[in-house]
Every structure is written in C-alpha cells, then in structure tokens.
C-alpha cells in the first residue's frame, strides 16, 4: 500500500521556478482535495519548449459507497420516520442530495451535525432500500477532479493536450504547439519510473 504523496517531484531547469510550480500544484491538490488520492506524482516543465508533462499514480480510492458504509440507520414505524446516524461526515452533501430528491426537502431534517431524520409512511421498506443506495462513486469524482486539476495546473496557453487515464495511472501532456510523439513517450517513461518507486 502506497502512502499519499509518497513521491512528489517537480522538475524544471531553474530551481526557483520549480518551487513556484510546486506550490501551484500543492495549492490545487488541496483545493480539489486530491492529495489523499494521489500516491506518486511527477511533473516536468520545459517552458522553452512550451511543454508540460505530468505522470500520476493513484492510490486505491475504494469502490462505490452505500448508505450502509457511512451511517447507521434505525426505522421507527410508529413515529413514521427513519433516523440516520452519520459515521463518515465527508459524504453528507451527496447523501442529502439523494435524500432530497427521493423524499423532498420538507421531509428531511437535520437536528444536529451527525443526525438526519426522514419522515415517511413506510419506514421499514425505505430503510431496506436506503441500505444499498449508492451515495457516492469516488472513482467517478476522482476522474472529474483529476482532469480539472490537470487543466488548472497547466500554464494557460498550453491548449494542445493529451491525457490517458487507465486503472490507477494518469498521464497528462500539454503544449502550445502540436504534440510530438516523444513528449508523450517521455511522459510514459516518467510513469514507469514512478511505478518502480520514483527516481531517488
């Protein structure tokens, strides 16, 4: 199992510029909350060639999350409600979104940070349904964020882009000029190095 950001390399000809860029990448990783999902990352900058290359190895981010994974549920047939006690707070926005769609906002209340109550006529049946309801798909969200991240960190003028997302590997190459084959191959080599644990 990889640690998050086990390897974090930024390479550029001028050391100070490398540091600026490292900071830009760090800021964007944290604003997109991507840091826990990335195991190893390497970025190579060659402004003189108008070239930006990035290779990322992702950590195992787990599979789909159901309500059961993030909360305990209790049906109260007499009161006509279901009480959900949240265990993992990070998925609350998604959970609430799904519940609002299904039951309407008026029937959902949140008496405190960790509790959500649903008013319904069929608490038992609904409880059974909710147990297996998919709340979030981290892989889907990850892909979206990863593409967003790549575009945010790339210099803005580099509009010709190539990206590859396969399993836990992600390659991104961007330039202002038509992309050369060797640039993409170089990014492939960067990825292979990362697989071996990165150049130390």
Partner 1 sequence: MAVLRPYLYTGGVYKHGLLIELLEDLGGYIIQQVVTGTEVNLIMLIPEKDVSVVKKQSDELLGILVEAPLTGVEIAVVSPTLASHHLPHSACDTAEYLRHPGANTNMIGLARGMGRRVSLSMDYERKLINEHDIAVFTFGSFSDCIINKKPKLFEGIEIPIVVTGGPDLKTEEVPGADLYVGNIGRTSHRLRKTEEVSALDKLNEEVGKIANNIRKQQAKDPLAVLPARVMKEIENQVPEIRTVLSPSPLTLQLNGLRVKLPYDEFHERIEKLEFDEGVILSELASISRSKMKNYILIKIKSKSDVGFTI
- List residues near partner 1 by CB under 8 A: 14, 16-17, 20-21, 23-24, 27-28, 31, 45, 47-48, 50, 152, 155-159, 176-177
CB of 49 to partner 1, least distance (A): 10
CB of 17 or CB of 72, closer to partner 1? 17
User: At closest approach, how far in Å is the CB of 63 from partner 1?
Assistant: 31
What's the rounded Cα separation, in Å, for the pair 150 and 11?
16
- How would you classify residue 23: left for phi > 0, otherwise alpha for psi between -120 and 50, otherwise beta? alpha
Dihedral pair phi/psi, residue 52, rounded to 5°? -135, 125
CA atoms within 13 A on the CB side of 4: 10
In the bound state with partner 1, the residue whose beta carbon lies nearer, of 23 and 124, is 23
Report in angstroms how near the CB of residue 17 gets to partner 1 at its nearest: 5
C-beta closer to partner 1: residue 50 or 120: 50
Which of 196, 192, 197 minimizes the C-alpha distance to 55? Answer: 192
Question: Closer CB to partner 1, residue 102 or residue 152?
Answer: 152
Question: Min. distance of Cβ 183 from partner 1 in angstroms?
Answer: 16
CB distance 7 to 122 below 8 Å: no
Enter the DSSP assignment of 191. Answer: H
The nearest distance, CB 54 to partner 1, in angstroms, is 16
Select 138 or 155, whichever has its Cβ closest to partner 1: 155
Closest CA to 73 of 95, 106, 100: 95
| Residue 172 beta carbon to partner 1: minimum distance, rounded to whole angstroms | 15
The token pair at 88 is 């993992």
Q: Which run of H or of E encompasses 136?
A: strand 134-136
The answer to whether the CB of 160 falls within 8 A of the CB of 175 is yes
């Amino acid at each position: 199992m990889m640690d998050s950001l086990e390897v974090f390399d930024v390479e550029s000809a001028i050391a100070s510029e490398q540091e600026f860029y490292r900071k830009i990448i760090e800021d964007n990783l944290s604003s997109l909350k991507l840091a826990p999902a990335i195991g190893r990352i390497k970025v190579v900058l060659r402004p003189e060639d108008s070239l930006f290359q990035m290779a990322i190895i992702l950590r195992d981010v787990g599979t789909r999350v159901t309500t059961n994974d993030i909360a305990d549920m209790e049906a109260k047939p007499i009161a006509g409600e279901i009480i959900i006690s949240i265990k993992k707070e990070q998925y609350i926005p998604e959970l609430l979104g799904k519940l609002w769609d299904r039951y309407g906002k008026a029937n959902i209340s949140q008496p405190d940070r960790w509790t959500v109550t649903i008013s319904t006529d069929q608490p038992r049946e609904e409880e059974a349904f909710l147990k297996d309801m998919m709340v979030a798909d981290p892989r889907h969200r990850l892909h979206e964020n990863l593409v967003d991240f790549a575009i945010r960190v790339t210099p803005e003028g580099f509009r010709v882009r190539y990206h590859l997302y396969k399993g836990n590997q992600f390659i991104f190459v961007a330039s202002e000029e038509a992309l050369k084959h060797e640039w993409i191959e170089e990014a492939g080599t960067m990825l292979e190095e990362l697989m071996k644990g990165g150049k130390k």
